[in-house]
Every structure is written in structure tokens, then in C-alpha cells.
A = this chain, B = another copy of it.
Amino acid sequence: MERELIRWLRERLPPHPRLLLGPGDDAAVLDMAQTTQCVVTVDMLTDGVDFQLGEIDPRRAGRKALAANLSDLAAMAARPLAGVVALCLPRQGGMELAVALCEGMLPLAERYKLAIAGGDVNSWDGPAAVSITLVGETTERGPLRRGGARPGDRIVVTGAFGGSILGRHLDFEPRVAEALELHGNYELHAGIDASDGLSLDLSHICEESGCGAAIDAGAVPVADDARRLAERRGDGSTPLDHALADGEDFELILAVPPEEARRMTAEQPLDVPITDIGEFIDGAGLWLAEPRGGRRPLVPRGWEHRL
């Protein structure tokens, strides 16, 4: 199956200026002559956890697997360069599934000028797993890290949060272009993509930066999906709860100096809204500042490996 898939891929992959040797050898070869720093990220998605192959077009699963990885490049404000794809497939219907997963990836790869450089295909008696590793390159401003937030920095986010399980977790657009735009034109101290959940991912920035954060409850952009999900669940959880904890929003969470945050939110340079939702503070922990005053501790929530 592997040779067959390589042949299929080779017929469909556009040439890429940085890919000197593509699928079919023991490794791909990339031109790095102009690259000072590269970033490497891997994310493995599995059937039954990150998507349900029995319920969706497998192209959407393939697209999601690549998009989630592109979102990690966005979190570093890195330009996509190349990716390799390792597939573990059920023995029955493996080739068709592999083709469908790749068909979901190819348009996204082309859109972000990412070379599909190689891969590995395995069959087994388990569910499908898709592991993608991406190589990107930093811009002249270097990588955007989690560890640079300082007390007083504003918490700035793109887009809206919550309820992604209703469909957005599959069809989201990774904020690659947005991260490059913001990193290039504003001073950013730290960044992460919201995969685990707004509060949990914010806590990752805090942990790496050695500070805390206070979110303005009234400022969080709550997605319509979060409202729909709260209503549908009817379990007492509010749309804000969903926005803070659902995860897989794949939006950017940034630490931005106050002056720059004001400029950024005023200029709104992206197609997606940019919102100031609070500030990084001295000390540890997350807090939720209520619109009517007062603040309460916020337990970071989200899922490490889940839908």
C-alpha cells in the first residue's frame, strides 16, 4: 500500500521550491540555505478521540490533522515549510482511507505553501491514527514563545471561543497568516494557540512565563456555537464556561504590552476580530474578573487529549 500511495501522491503534489527530494526515498531533502532557525512540531490525531471516522467524511479528518499542526506553527509565528505524514490504518479499506485523508490535506498544504515531503504508512488491527510533523521557519523577528508574558501585558485573542465540537473543530482555519501579520507589525511577548481550552492554554503561557492572568469575564468573545451548545446541553453550564474550557478553537492567545494592545485592537488589522480579554498579573494562577466587580479564582479547564 505504501508504494501505491506514494505513486498516487507524486502525481498530485505540486513542485515546491524548497523541496529538493520528495516522497519515495528514505527521507525528504529540504533546501535550508536561507533559513536561520527552523521550528518542528508534531501532533498525532486518532479516530475516536479527535474525530469519528464513522460519522464524517475522512477528508475532514485529514484536513483537521494538518490544520491542527499548522495551528502550532501559527502559535510560534513561523512560516510553514514542509510536513511528513505517518498513518496507521485499519487493514480493511486502508488505501481508500489513506487517499481520502490525503485529499483533505492537499488543498490546505497548497494554501499555506507547505510541501508534503514524505511519510510512512502502516496497517494494523487498531483504529486510524494520523501523525503529522511540520517544519517551519521563523521570521527575522524570531519565534513567538509561550514564556515571554510579563505582568501588565494584555491578554489578546483572535476570534471567538467555545462550542467547537459542533463542527468548528474540524473546519477551522489555522491562524498562520494572522500570526505572521501580528508578529511582524506589533510587539508580542508570548503566544499559544487555543487547542486545549482558552483557560488551560492561558495557564500554559502563565506557567512558562512565571506569572498569573486575570480574564475579564465580560470581555471574552463567546462563539455562537458556545451558546448553542450550552442551550443544547442544558446542564447549567453557561456559554462563557464553554468558551473558557471547550478547546479546539485554534485561535491565538497572545501576551501584548498595553500600548501595543491598544493599537492592535484599535487598528483591527485582521479579517477576524482581535479582542483584549484581560491582563497578565504578578503571582500564579488564573482569575476571572466579574463585570460587576470582584474576581474569583478560575480553575484552568480543558482536555489534554480529546475532542
Contact = CB atoms under 8 A, between A and B. Distances in A.
A53 interface: no
Interface in A98-137: 117-127, 129, 131, 133-137
A44 to B, nearest CB: 4
Given A72-B27, A124-B46, A146-B26, A131 B86 contact: yes
Number of copies: 2
B145 A76 contact: no
Given A2-B304, A20-B37, A31-B37, A46 B131 contact: no
Contact of A147 (B25, B39, B134): B25
A50 B280 CA distance: 47
Interface string A145-161: 11100000000000000
A33 interface: yes
Nearest to A134: B27
A293 B283 CA distance: 82
6 tightest A-B CB contacts, nearest first: A27-B41, A26-B75, A133-B133, A131-B131, A126-B126, A44-B86
